[in-house]
Chains A and B, each alone.
Chain A
Amino acid sequence: MGAALRGSRRFRSFIPGTGIEQDRDFRMEERNTVIEMAPIVQCMGLTKTYGGKLALNQIFLNLERGKIVGLLGPNGSGKTTLIKIMNGLLRPTAGDILIAGERPGIGSKYRISYLPERTYLHPGMKVMEMVQYFQDFYPDFKVEKAFDMLHRLQIPPNERLKNLSKGTKEKVQLILVMSRDADLYILDEPIAGVDPASRDYILHTIVSNYNRNATVLLSTHLISDVEGILDEVVFIKYGNIILQADAEQIRQREGKSIDRFFREVFAC
């Protein structure tokens, strides 16, 4: 973990309700235990506006550990904005967000493995150079795992990224992201740019490669493709969380698939 989590440090705190200051020694192990117990994501009144336009409207959301969560909503509903704030790529206008108990920063970046909706790799670099890049910056990156997945998807490590198709570049990005042993995987539209035949493999890659104590937050509007792997769903509409529930419970309660239910909720 980050430098902030190493070693021992003295914290000041107040006795609740008294305003009396007390000094306590927190060992880092204790602090880490507290962090491990905290929800992996906590949004408290999170609001984001672009100019005068409201993108997120006072969102309250907790995501627990060890689940695959579908962040589902139509285009422009605020999915990507929420994800960018989690990754520290956007600053919220109001409210607060905690990743494993801390605000987005260097510490949270050690914990999150993020797949954006766009290609973020330098086109002049080779696939194996990108593997080296991830290995250099992320201590939890598993090189063998990455090369194994590249081999299984028949992606040549010596090929430059600019020579790969858009779909193959997305596969490379997914491999890099899933080769980390992160606490939270945030995947923004991971299957949107690939052919239907590859989608099953990608979903299989996600399910079989994430750490079981970790959380996968998967944003997509291709619900029928992903609903089989989801433990929990979050519906987002016009910047508001309108539903957060267990996927199986929805199916039983509504008597229909998540995809069907989504179409009814978001019918134009």
Chain B
Amino acid sequence: MLGKLMKYEWKATWKLLVPLNLFIVLMTILAYCTVQMSFFDSNSNLVIMTGIIVMMTYLLSMFVVAVGSVIYLIYRFYTSVYGDEGYLLHTLPVDKHHIIVAKALTSMAWVLMNAVLVYFSFFFLLSTQAQFMEAMTEGFEFYVDVVNGYNDKIGVFGIVMTFVASFFALGARILKISACISLGQLASNHKILSAFGFYYAIYFVQKMFSILYYLILELGMRAANYSYSGYIFTTSWEFTLISSLVYCVIFYILTWYVMDRKLNLD
């Protein structure tokens, strides 16, 4: 049933999100043409203005599509789980775990796809600039040097694990939103407002934990006479990975608990 749920979740979301992402591709091509055709070196103000408008639209489209996709996915979760469509979803003979996993994985796929598209877009556009490529190469070498310089065990492994940690961090963020929307359903009235309340309360607690972790780390480093920046750098993926995994489990359980044990569709 998980596969079927994912299939229909994908079908329900692609009609809006594919055109949005294609818009990024279109704007990237336009912006690329603007740079390649030296619009900004022109003597004509009209051409320069056109170039500025294209570049601004390009940058704006990145932001609008990224934010718009996330808002749409949140809206989709709310309406399909706790809105009118929830009457169908919750009367399907499927496990609630499958519903949560299907929605989380589909949302993660869209956010990742959007992020990859944005990165490639910037990279494609800036790769035409020699200074950018030099800076990219230096930046990458610097990163590997720093990682290798402070901890011999971490190198390529550290970089890979940083991506893995980022993946779980994304999962934790998506499940956090699911959990907050679900917890908001426990309120008799103002359920959306309650969901925002839960979001900021959880955000505050998470920040407190982060601050506490770095505070303890700082004190530990001072006691051992370690250099501050390097140690933080090499251990950050570990903290992100562990904390993300813990948050994933907590937010998953909260979502499941409300969906399975406290469901109250209006």
Query: Of the candidates A2, A50, A88, which one forms a contact with B90 in the assembled complex, judged by CB atoms under 8 Å apart?
Result: A88
B141 within 8 A of A: no
Q: Give every chain A residue within 8 A of B84 (Cβ-Cβ).
A: 118-120
* Chain B nearest Cβ from A164, distance in angstroms: 15
Residues of A within 8 A of B (CB): 2, 50-51, 84, 87-91, 106-107, 109-110, 112, 114, 116, 118-122, 124-125, 129, 133, 136-138
Residues of B within 8 A of A (CB): 1, 4, 8, 11-12, 15, 80, 84-88, 90-95, 188, 261-265
Query: With the chains together, A118 CA to B188 CA distance in Å?
Result: 20
Known: A51-B188, A87-B91, A90-B265. 9 other contacts (CB 8 A): A88-B90, A89-B87, A107-B93, A109-B92, A122-B12, A124-B12, A124-B15, A137-B92, A138-B93
A114's nearest neighbour on chain B, judged by CB, is B91
Q: In the A-B complex, list the 5 residue pairs whose CB atoms are closest, starting with the nearest.
A: A120-B87, A109-B93, A120-B88, A116-B87, A89-B265
* Chain B nearest Cβ from A134, distance in angstroms: 9
B90's nearest neighbour on chain A, judged by CB, is A89
Would B93 and A120 count as touching, CB distance under 8 A? no
Would B4 and A136 count as touching, CB distance under 8 A? yes
Would B93 and A90 count as touching, CB distance under 8 A? no
Q: Give every chain B residue within 8 A of A110 (Cβ-Cβ).
A: 93
A112's nearest neighbour on chain B, judged by CB, is B91
User: What are 20 A-B pairs with beta-carbon distances under 8 A?
Assistant: A50-B188, A51-B188, A87-B90, A87-B91, A88-B91, A88-B263, A89-B90, A89-B91, A90-B263, A90-B264, A91-B262, A106-B93, A106-B94, A110-B93, A114-B87, A118-B84, A122-B85, A125-B12, A133-B8, A136-B8
Query: With the chains together, A136 CA to B93 CA distance in Å?
Result: 11
Q: Give every chain A residue within 8 A of B90 (Cβ-Cβ).
A: 87-89
Q: Give every chain B residue within 8 A of A87 (Cβ-Cβ).
A: 90-91
* Chain A nearest Cβ from B216, distance in angstroms: 42
Q: Give every chain A residue within 8 A of B15 (Cβ-Cβ).
A: 124
Would A2 and B93 count as touching, CB distance under 8 A? yes
Q: Give every chain B residue within 8 A of A124 (Cβ-Cβ).
A: 12, 15
* Chain B nearest Cβ from A167, distance in angstroms: 17
Q: Give every chain B residue within 8 A of A121 (Cβ-Cβ).
A: 85, 88
Q: Give every chain B residue within 8 A of A112 (Cβ-Cβ).
A: 91
* Chain A nearest Cβ from B232, distance in angstroms: 47
A2's nearest neighbour on chain B, judged by CB, is B93
* Chain B nearest Cβ from A141, distance in angstroms: 11
Q: Give every chain A residue within 8 A of B11 (Cβ-Cβ).
A: 125, 129
Given the known A-B contacts A137-B4, A137-B94, are A91 and B264 also in contact in the complex, defined by CB atoms under 8 Å? yes
Query: With the chains together, A51 CA to B87 CA distance in Å?
Result: 22
Query: With the chains together, A84 CA to B87 CA distance in Å?
Result: 9
Q: Give every chain B residue within 8 A of A129 (Cβ-Cβ).
A: 11
Q: Give every chain B residue within 8 A of A90 (Cβ-Cβ).
A: 263-265
Query: With the chains together, A90 CA to B185 CA distance in Å?
Result: 12
Would B263 and A120 count as touching, CB distance under 8 A? no
